[in-house]
Structure 1
């Protein structure tokens, strides 16, 4: 009888139901949810909810640690950061050294500017105390990080030998980034020991006259190294200082008669005479898949031409036949011929943001992650190439693409110096059926000129209309109201020819293209919703994100 009783509806609504708590969920499901969280604020708040979620989310919270140092005290709502204790940088190191969270750290980065005190002590033959204490604290933190995989040192002081030894003892360390001092002051130097599991190494602000540490043994004996980026201080090339010797970086490697099985190679601001080992003795071209070459030679710089010519007079032995990606700013015939010998490239990016031409035909040196672009307009360095030269160089590169890369090419950003006819671009995209991203400067400046070739590129979803620097069109674009330019894009790119386009670049402004509709004023005209974006918002798209002089 009791089983047949029914609870009245009003009582059923009022009866409290048991609530679901984290304890009712399987632990592996909770771990999976936390693993997909990427907002540190959300993860931190999650650790404050209950004891279970605290222990479940704590490893994720401390998985990636970045400590930034500032030379001045920063204020939040009028209160100094770290009020009542130390700076956030110092308290972060304190937590790693004295707490139990360092064991969770997989990526550790220290960046910013460190205030070095008592610099005159270097001239007396000893390291200042605050620099030594920084290194000692860092070593203590590293010794408690058994899971460390990535380490970045981007502070201005140098690391000491005890820190390098601590890094060499990390069993899982696979990525290392080092910034070296840019001030030319005598400092102690050390030889960086090899790291057996190292796969990626980035060294920047290299300057032989600033007492950098010796990286040659690290390069020679890290046998799993696959990604190498070397960045020299831009003033070396700007001032034409022949202080760099290739043998000082790769001498031990060549002496061991072993080649680096690199997949990625990057050289920035390299300036040295072609003496010592050649690149075919350093790198095994069979494995090389990606090259980044920025500001390494110029055919028009009168202050570096004699040194650069020593490389041009040497014929390159071997070709990276498996190359899939090239990013650089070199534009000359020998380089085009080299690309023609590679096959099945998927990515070809000619960096345009590294050149800033003035009205007198000058150009600045490349900028770097720590050095902004700068130029002295009263000292001509690079002369503007003639139209005849531009046509011939562009023809060489287009011929290389047609010869070897038509069926494999997916991402292509050409030079903004090459003004191509729409019919030429149409022939190019028809030969590249798998092209997905395209950036090109057109001789016909009208917006509708893209209609000629976009229909023949059905897979292209990102297109950049480049504008030649210091041209009349560039001045006109800079003078236009951003809303007027957005209206122009809306009225042109609603057409069926552009239905596959999702992102569009007009000059330096990227847009996200949306749905097509009729104008709300009842005129019956069609338009396409578009939203102007920043470069940061499109940095994941290669024809924008790779058009810079930074590291990738």
Structure 2
């Protein structure tokens, strides 16, 4: 037996390393924890080639989520083609899990991209499947048979999955998630009765077209008694052509005949264009549905008249018996949808998806699409596809629903129904960027929704200071997203005025005309202003993420700076007693200084894990979440004029006040005493952080 290095099982804590530091001096459980946080396949592959121990520990992580992407053309990295010396990365990936003992490590398999098929018209004319597609399905079936512990399977290729693969999936005892994409081409393929997968809990079917590929999924839905989430996406061809060829009875007929409705909790329907029938209510257990997503991918204000004969068949009033709907996500804005929301109560999450045909050009979209400039040749299709791969349809330029009166009445109807029926229970609220809310509307909405944790709405720059006044009433707010208004009549940003950074004492909020002007300011100056504006620990301690247009910032811990470093006239000291430079945590007073983004107040270079801020002499300690721990007393208002008992009076004054345009000058700067001022760490974050917050992650026209 080969000798085993003792460092594999125990740590060697020594400062003298003659050959430099080594990763292998760490214990194995710590190495496993570090490797578990790696998600980049390239990093994991390099670890596997480092040594035997790291290969043994990294290999399961590398093959855990196995994704293969196929391309219809050979791609080049510089002058070197991908897969030079062997085959394409897609084929070599399948070969690895078939010929080597790696299949048992795979938990999730995703096949996506374009599969090149030759002589399609000739094969379709004689009723044959192309050999390349048949060999693909045979290879995938061989790979699936090796994956005994497979839990998730995603088929997102441009060619159809055949019965060979379906039969292999039915033999997997741990398969709980299945995603199927039908091709968008209209060439004949064999019609398949999809067999049941009894342990399935998540099912997503995209690009359904009954006139192209009428595969029967009724047996699959009937036998999946454990199914909890169902997402169905139809090709937009039927809605664009006003062709009601979708018959819902065909999908749920076996559930209806057996009187066994689906007990799903989450249901998503996209591009559905079908007549409503009474049998549809028998297909689902109305008491179990809690989350509903309805997306159309079209401008509803222009398409209602064209599709009204089909859409108007669906009822407005939901069933009254034990209705448990907790979340709604939609992109349609209409009177009928407003009446539906007003017909029940108890929503906890409400998301209005914004229309973003091209995320790179949207001022409110923080998504950054991956750049393929290093890979050649580029795609020949230069049109901008929609999320389902089809070009977005053209809509009429003018409609009665675009009139200002109709737009204003619809907004008022929605907001009134939200405030009256759902505001008391709402925790997440994403409003459309087309709705530019006034200061009075923001105040009423915040006063009626005390449980909000994530909030996104559009506002003009003149209402920005209202945010500083209403945030103290949202004690649970952790994410705030300010959208740039995109509705009709919205003023455009000044061209070139804010393309460069602003220096000196010039105030961006006093000079900007719109919120878009503020967004275009350079990050360095904007971060400095936000660090000052959100330095109040009582008012903003729970707020973690702030978004403005396409930009978003993470608010970290508090720290102090010397008042001598602040330019003269840049700070306006409050009349309230100043705070000390220490924090109190579990009865201990700590000095600290910012080191990370964990929401910890700090000064003088030491971390403080607490949430208690000690005011100046003679003042009771105040918790950073805005509550006083002494005798249940509410903290003194940071506005310097009113206490918390005056909330109704304050909100009433907000509706009547003519508020100024300067956000930063209306937020009081907090003094830490001893000539120091409070600041908060702020840093720009990207989509990798924002996708974890629902008001960003769910703002997309995808199921």
TM value normalised by structure 1: 0.85
Match of 2:552 among 510, 523, 533: 510
Whether contact under 8 Å (2:357, 2:386) holds in the other structure is: no
* Other-structure match for 2:311: 308
SS in 1 for 2:446: helix
1:215 CA displacement: 1.5
| C-alpha spacing 1:382/1:140, structure 2 compared with 1 (3 Å) | farther
SS in 2 for 1:310: coil
1:391 CA displacement: 3.6
* Other-structure match for 1:6: none
Q: Deviations over 1:134-161 (max 9, x none)?
A: 0000101101111000000000111111
Q: Deviations over 1:183-241 (max 9, x none)?
A: 11111110110101100000111111222422221112111111000011122211111
Q: Deviations over 1:470-527 (max 9, x none)?
A: 5554521676535462346754773345565433333343344566867977345258
| C-alpha spacing 1:401/1:533, structure 2 compared with 1 (3 Å) | same
1:76 CA displacement: 1.8
State yes or no: 1:149 paired with 2:151: yes
| C-alpha spacing 1:126/1:375, structure 2 compared with 1 (3 Å) | closer
Distance in structure 1 (CA, Å) of the matches to 2:123 and 2:16: 78
State yes or no: 1:92 paired with 2:56: no
My pick for the range that moved more, 327-336 or 474-483, is: 474-483
Equivalenced residue count is 527
State yes or no: 1:548 paired with 2:694: no
| C-alpha spacing 1:109/1:426, structure 2 compared with 1 (3 Å) | same
Match of 1:271 among 258, 270, 273: 273
SS in 1 for 2:323: coil
SS in 2 for 1:208: coil
Distance in structure 2 (CA, Å) of the matches to 1:405 and 1:465: 21
Distance in structure 1 (CA, Å) of the matches to 2:465 and 2:293: 34
Q: Deviations over 1:400-425 (max 9, x none)?
A: 33334334322111133333322222
Please show how residues 339-350 of structure 1 align to structure 2 within 5 Å: 339-340=341-342, 342-350=344-352
Q: Name which structure has the greater RCO, CA cutoff 8 Å, separation 6+.
A: 2
Q: Which runs of 5+ in 2 are unaligned?
A: 1-13, 359-383, 503-517, 572-663, 665-679
* Other-structure match for 2:389: 371
State yes or no: 1:458 paired with 2:475: yes
* Other-structure match for 1:71: 72
* Other-structure match for 1:182: 184
Match of 2:216 among 207, 214, 221: 214
Distance in structure 2 (CA, Å) of the matches to 1:434 and 1:38: 35
| C-alpha spacing 1:434/1:35, structure 2 compared with 1 (3 Å) | same
Distance in structure 2 (CA, Å) of the matches to 1:467 and 1:32: 41
Distance in structure 2 (CA, Å) of the matches to 1:243 and 1:118: 29
* Other-structure match for 2:405: 388
CA RMSD of aligned residues (A): 3.4
* Other-structure match for 1:286: 287
1:399 CA displacement: 3.3
Distance in structure 2 (CA, Å) of the matches to 1:15 and 1:458: 52
Distance in structure 1 (CA, Å) of the matches to 2:393 and 2:15: 75
Whether contact under 8 Å (1:268, 1:294) holds in the other structure is: yes
1:294 CA displacement: 0.7
Q: Which runs of 5+ in 1 are unaligned?
A: 1-11, 357-365
Distance in structure 2 (CA, Å) of the matches to 1:431 and 1:453: 11
Q: Deviations over 1:318-372 (max 9, x none)?
A: 467322221112334443344345444321111122589xxxxxxxxx9753326
Distance in structure 1 (CA, Å) of the matches to 2:320 and 2:567: 65
Match of 1:161 among 146, 163, 182: 163
| C-alpha spacing 1:233/1:101, structure 2 compared with 1 (3 Å) | same
My pick for the range that moved more, 214-223 or 320-329, is: 320-329
Distance in structure 2 (CA, Å) of the matches to 1:537 and 1:132: 41
Whether contact under 8 Å (2:244, 2:275) holds in the other structure is: yes
My pick for the range that moved more, 437-446 or 96-105, is: 437-446
SS in 2 for 1:440: strand
* Other-structure match for 2:205: 203
* Other-structure match for 2:239: 237
SS in 2 for 1:44: helix
